[in-house]
Every structure is written in structure tokens, then in C-alpha cells.
Amino acid sequence: MNLDSSFFLSLTTFVYLGAAVIYLFHWIFRVRQVGVVASLAALGGLLLQTAGIGLRWVESYQRGYGHAPLSNLYESLVFFAWVVILVYLVVERRTKNRVIGAFATPFAALAMAYASFSPQVEDAIQPLVPALKSNWLIAHVVTCFLGYAAFAVACGLGIMYLIRYFSDENPAGLVGTLPPLRTLDALMYQTLTFGFVWLSLGIITGAVWANEAWGSYWTWDPKETWSLITWFVYAVALHARFVRGWTGPRIAVLAIVGFAAVIFTYFGVNFLLSGLHSYGAQ
């Protein structure tokens, strides 16, 4: 058995898929011990993935490339899944509510499954393309994906909020096990604010990097344009909450719409629109 990064990251895929299913069982059957197993699976997957990412970084140096594992679609998906689980586990520790895991961990599991099984995703360690040879690579990718991961968790919370909001006044069964609306609203606000700060930093670091690489801070490249559209969606959500007092279902809808914009910025632009960031589809 070859204990390289591929082994650890492949194993992580199945652990996250298992964790998502166990969280779902915990929500359906409401057995505390099942929830504990789900938490241990998510934490174990995070540790496995951390080891896999670290090993891949070392292997990059051993092959003479010497770059952080954040340089292509496969590595960005792996990092996205890692941050989603990290953000979720922080939320779980703060709220002591594992039902949220049934709505948050599938994002990480699907990201790892797509990275591992899609023929469109190349998982080999490759040398950096010229545009990525910059000290801004780590700062830009890490800040952006911290934002994306927070928005994924906020989307899951928004779905939970709407399910609970449109149920009976005193819901029973599965809906009744969801956190109270006030708790979900507060968590949405916190995760959206957290993600917005990091996305803003990601756009700023990207602009500085673009000026260094392409001689201009902003070129209206499709990735830049859609990043700005995504930023505006979340800016509107937070502005409406602060200034107009929006809470509840309207913020939940914006959390879901905003994450749809994130998905298009992340995948849609890479595959449907050509531009300076087209290397992101590789």
C-alpha cells in the first residue's frame, strides 16, 4: 500500500460521504450516539485530508515543482471541502447541534466526490502555469475559499430556515428537530458576515495579484466580473439586514441565491466563459 497524498485524499472522499450519510441518519432517527459517530467521522476525515494536503505539498517539492496544492481545479476542490468541514465543525461545536451537519457536510462530500471521480478533473501534480507563479497564490486562494466555505454553510442554514419557516407553527417530526428560527437566523448572519469579509479580502488580493501579473488591477475578465456580482449579492444581504432590518426568510433566500452565484463563479465561468482565468478549468 502506497501511503501517498492520493491515498489519503481518496480515503477522505469516502469518509466525508459516510459522514454526510450518518448525519442524515442522525437527523432522521434522532439517536445521539449516531450523531457522535458522524462528528467523529467528519473530524477524522478532516485530519486525513490535512495529512493528504500536506503530503501533496511535500510531493510537489519532491518532483521539483515546489508549490502549494492550490494550483488547479482538483486542488481547489480539495481545499474547498477541507474548509467547509472546518467551518462546519466550528459551528457544530458552538451550537451543540449536529442536525446542521446533514445540510452542511454534503457540500464537502460532493466536492471531494467530483474531484475524485469526474473525468474532467485532472488530479496529477503539475507545474504551475506562468500566471500562477506568484507569492499571492496562497493569500488569494485561501481568502476566497474561506469565503466560499462559509457561504456553503450559510446556504445549508438557509435551506434549513426555509424548511422550518414554511412548516406548521409547532412542527413535529423531522422539522421539529431543526434548530429554532431565531438560532438559524443568527447563524446565517454570522456565517454570511464571516464569508463576506474573506471574499472581500480575496477580491482585493486578486486585484493586487492581477496588477502584478497582467499590469492592471481590474480587467473585467469573466471571473472578476462574476466575483464582483457574487460580492454584491452578499453585500445586498448584509446591507438589507443592517439598514432595512431584513431577517428570516428573505436573508435565507439571499444566502441560497448567493451560493448559486458562488457556484457559477467557481465552475460556470471556468467551463462556459473564456478569459484570463481559463486555467482554472484544468
Question: Containing domain of residue 22, as a range?
Answer: 1-127
What percentage of the chain has pLDDT greater than the value 90? 71
Q: What is the pLDDT of residue 232?
A: 96
Entry pTM: 0.92
Do 75 and 182 lie in one domain? The reply is: no
* Residue 155 and residue 100 share a domain: no
17 shares a domain with 154? no
Confidence class of residue 20 from pLDDT cuts 50, 70 and 90? very high
Residues 123 and 141 in one domain: no
Contact 68, 138 (CB under 8 A): yes
Indicate the average pLDDT of the chain: 91
Last residue of a domain, one of 73, 108, 127: 127
Under the banding of pLDDT at 50, 70 and 90, the label for residue 105 is very high
The whole-number pLDDT of residue 278 equals 58
Number of domains in the chain: 2
* Same-domain pairing of 230 and 268: yes
Q: Which of 112, 127, 142 is the last residue of a domain?
A: 127
190 and 173 share one domain: yes
Residues 110 and 167 in one domain: no
Q: Are residues 267 and 136 in the same domain?
A: yes
On whether both 121 and 149 belong to a single domain, the answer is no
Instruction: Encode pLDDT of 142-178 as tens digits.
Output: 999 999 999 999 999 999 999 999 986 667 788 888 9
Q: What is the structure's pLDDT at 280?
A: 54
Task: Please count the other Cβ atoms lying within 10 Å of the Cβ belonging to residue 247.
Answer: 17
What pLDDT score does 177 carry? Answer: 87
Say yes or no to pLDDT of 270 above 90.
Answer: no
3-state SS record for the chain: CCCCHHHHHHHHHHHHHHHHHHHHHHHHHCCHHHHHHHHHHHHHHHHHHHHHHHHHHHHHHHCCCCCCCCCCHHHHHHHHHHHHHHHHHHHHHHHCCCCCHHHHHHHHHHHHHHHHHCCCCCCCCCCCCHHHCCCHHHHHHHHHHHHHHHHHHHHHHHHHHHHHHCCCCCCCHHHHCCCCHHHHHHHHHHHHHHHHHHHHHHHHHHHHHHHHHHCCCCCCCHHHHHHHHHHHHHHHHHHHHHHCCCCCHHHHHHHHHHHHHHHHHHHHHHHHCCCCCHHHHC
Q: Which pLDDT value is given to residue 247?
A: 87
Asked if 100 and 157 touch (Cβ cutoff 8 Å), the reply is yes
Domain co-membership, 106 together with 193: no
Task: Tell the residue number behind the cell numbers 486585484, with chain if given.
Answer: 207
Same domain, 61 and 153: no
Say yes or no: 146 and 258 in one domain.
yes
| Domain C-terminal end among 99, 127, 155 | 127
